[in-house]
Amino acid sequence: MSTAIVSRTQLLSRIAAALLGGYVLAWGFIALGVAAAFAAGMPFHDAEHLFSLLAFLLYLVTFLWSFAARDPRRVWLVLAGGGALMAVLASLIQHALV
């Protein structure tokens, strides 16, 4: 019985990681991509289009990885942690530009 409960929470955690963690990572990816590319001289709308295009593919890959990966804690660390880190970097770049 207890294993069933453990695996149910584990499953919920993976679903949440796939949906929310993946979203955070994709967000951070777009933010950092747009800020960095704009800083490097790419036209703003080009950067916006390019990185949101790639972000959806990234979201797809991380979604699948959330279920395929062995350790769900690592999934959370990479997705939420990586997303937050990239978002912070994006804000720093913006701060330097504006």
Partner 1 sequence: MFQNFRLAMAWVHTWFGLFLGFVLMVVFFFGSLSVFDREIDRWAIPESRFEPQPMPSFDEILKPVFEDMQPSRESVDQMRSRVDGPMPEHFDTPVRWGAYTTHRDPVLGLFAGYQVPNANNPDELVWGTRTIDPRTGESLPDDQLKIGSRFFYPLHYSLNLHWKDLGYWIVGLAALIMLVALVTGVIMHRKLFRELFTFRPKKSNQRSILDLHNLTGVVALPFHFMFAFTGLVIFAGIYFPVTHTQLEPLHDLHEVVESQETGLPHERSGVAAPIASVDAMVAEAQRRWAARDMAGDVGFLALQHVGDANGYVSIYRAGTDRIALTGEGIHFKASTGEVLREDPPPSTVERIDEFLTGLHLQHFRHWLLRWLYVLGGLTGCACIATGFLFFVEKRKRQHAKRGQIGSRVVDALAVTTVTGMLIATLGILIANRLLPVNLPARGDWEQYCFWGVWGLAMAHAFWRTAPVALGKLAPAWREQCWAIAVLAVVAVVLNWVTTGDHLLKTLSAGYWPVAGVDLFMLVSALVAVFTARRLQRRPRPQSADGSELSGEAAHA
Binding site for partner 1 (CB under 8 A): 7, 10-11, 14, 19, 26-27, 30-31, 34-35, 38, 43-46, 48-50, 52-53, 55-57, 59-60, 63-64, 67-68, 87, 90-91, 94, 97-98
| C-alpha distances out from residue 11 to 4, 20, 32, 48, 76, Å | 10, 14, 30, 34, 13
Six token digits for residue 35: 């800020």
Q: How far apart are CB 33 and partner 1 at their closest, in Å?
A: 9
Q: How far apart are CB 40 and partner 1 at their closest, in Å?
A: 13
